[in-house]
A and B are shown apart, each in its own frame.
Chain A
Amino acid sequence: EIVLTQSPATLSLSPGERATLSCRASQSVSSFLVWYKQKPGQAPRLLIYDASNRATGIPARFSGSGSGTDFTLSISSLEPEDFAVYYCQQRSNWPPTFGGGTKVEIK
């Protein structure tokens, strides 16, 4: 199965700063890479699908890029509600697998 490695494990930033999160796949997933956001006590929420497509209702400050094995989720200017854990997931190969998550915390 494809292993997804997210880095860093924790990102400490202030509101208004730019966040850059990485997800690396153990083999190519083409563009079949998805990002979710999870706040404490809440279910994951779909952010980005197929590497760069924002899901319905997701603000434009969220953007995704990459293909093959290296992907990036960027948040252009952090809002208070953006401090959360972010997971990537590949949907290229069976079974679907998730990365270990990156926690974006307030500095």
Chain B
Amino acid sequence: EVQLVESGGAVVQPGESLRLSCAASGFRFDDYSMHWVRQAPGKGLEWVSLINWDGGTMYYADSVKGRFTISRDNSRNSLYLQMNSLTTEDTALYYCAKAATTSPRYYFDYWGHGTLVTVSS
């Protein structure tokens, strides 16, 4: 059974940093790209970042580019998101999501339950 379990969410002040983690199990982690998708309270879904299977390629939404860094450790079946210079606009539930195929046209077949990041002064 595929499982994705996020952790690391917290309440932080604007300008602070946070590191999210996602522990994966039930599939060959190093076969698939992995993504972060976020959902602001009461809002829709926003794709945030992707990392390819070997960690050699990363992409970011314009809204987080230069502030967030995605990484993975295939030996630990884990995905990470380093979030710096946080603003109130980053307040959201952050989901870890598995790419459904190895195609570069991405969609997501498994999602974690999310970890909540609240940025507030």
A positions within 8 Å CB-CB of B:
32, 34, 36, 42-46, 49, 55, 87, 89, 91-92, 94-101
Assembly CA distance A94 to B46 (angstroms): 13
B positions within 8 Å CB-CB of A:
44-47, 59, 61, 95, 100, 105-114
**Dominant secondary structure at the A interface:** loop
Which partner residue on chain B sits nearest A49 by CB separation? B107
Assembly CA distance A91 to B44 (angstroms): 17
Determine the chain A residues whose CB is within 8 A of the CB of B59 once the complex forms: 94-95
Assembly CA distance A100 to B100 (angstroms): 22
Assembly CA distance A17 to B108 (angstroms): 29
Which partner residue on chain A sits nearest B110 by CB separation? A46
Assembly CA distance A34 to B105 (angstroms): 11
Query: Nearest chain A CB to B44's CB is how many angstroms away?
Result: 5
Report which of A42, A97, A98 forms a contact with B113, defined as CB distance below 8 A: A42
Assembly CA distance A46 to B45 (angstroms): 13
Determine the chain A residues whose CB is within 8 A of the CB of B114 once the complex forms: 43
Query: Nearest chain A CB to B106's CB is how many angstroms away?
Result: 5
Assembly CA distance A96 to B48 (angstroms): 10
Determine the chain B residues whose CB is within 8 A of the CB of A49 once the complex forms: 100, 107
Assembly CA distance A46 to B107 (angstroms): 9
Assembly CA distance A91 to B100 (angstroms): 11
Determine the chain A residues whose CB is within 8 A of the CB of B109 once the complex forms: 46, 55
Determine the chain A residues whose CB is within 8 A of the CB of B107 once the complex forms: 34, 46, 49, 89, 91, 96
* Interface-central residue, A36, A44, A98, by most chain B CB under 10 Å: A44
Determine the chain B residues whose CB is within 8 A of the CB of A42 once the complex forms: 113
Report which of B47, B108, B110, B112 forms a contact with A95, defined as CB distance below 8 A: B47
List, sorted by A's number, 29 A–B pairs whose CB atoms are closer than 8 Å: A34-B107, A36-B45, A43-B95, A43-B114, A44-B108, A44-B111, A46-B100, A49-B100, A49-B107, A55-B109, A87-B44, A87-B45, A89-B45, A89-B107, A91-B105, A91-B107, A92-B105, A95-B59, A95-B61, A96-B47, A96-B106, A96-B107, A97-B47, A98-B44, A98-B45, A98-B46, A99-B44, A100-B44, A101-B45
